[in-house]
């Protein structure tokens, strides 16, 4: 898999934005991507040095619309911690 297939999108929420000053970023990643895959993809895409990666499987939630019910899609989230000597990711700089 190439880096663009592994990192799908950044997660932009209040909780995710709190840790940007500590160089922690949150991304939605491919469900079959490993921590090593995520580390290599972020380093390649953003030209930074990754120190640690934590991943979480997010289960789909039950939703109803009238008498019809179903689940939202499940996905994988990755918390990426950059090393202290690494530069911050420029994409997030304008959002702080």
* Each residue's pLDDT tens digit, 29-50: 999 999 999 999 999 999 999 9
Query: What pLDDT, in 10s, does the model give residues 56-90?
Result: 999 999 999 999 999 999 999 999 999 999 999 98
Rg (alpha carbons) of the chain, rounded to whole number = 15
Q: Coil, strand, or helix at residue 85?
A: coil
Q: Coil, strand, or helix at residue 45?
A: helix
CB 69 within 8 A of CB 63: yes
Residue 1: per-residue pLDDT: 83
Tokens of 48: 């930074």
- With tokens 């580390």, the residue in question is 39
Query: In the Cβ-directed half-sphere of 44, how many Cα atoms lie within 13 Å?
Result: 13
pTM above 0.85, yes or no: yes
């Amino acid at each position: 898999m190439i880096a663009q297939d592994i990192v799908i999108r950044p997660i932009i929420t209040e909780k995710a934005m709190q840790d940007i000053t500590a160089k922690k970023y949150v991304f939605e990643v491919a469900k079959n991507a490993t921590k090593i895959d995520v580390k290599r993809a972020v380093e390649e895409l953003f030209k930074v040095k990754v120190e640690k990666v934590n991943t979480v499987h997010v289960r789909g939630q039950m939703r109803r619309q009238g008498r019809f019910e179903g689940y939202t899609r499940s996905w994988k989230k990755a918390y990426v911690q950059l090393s202290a000597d690494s530069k911050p990711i420029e994409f997030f700089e304008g959002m702080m």
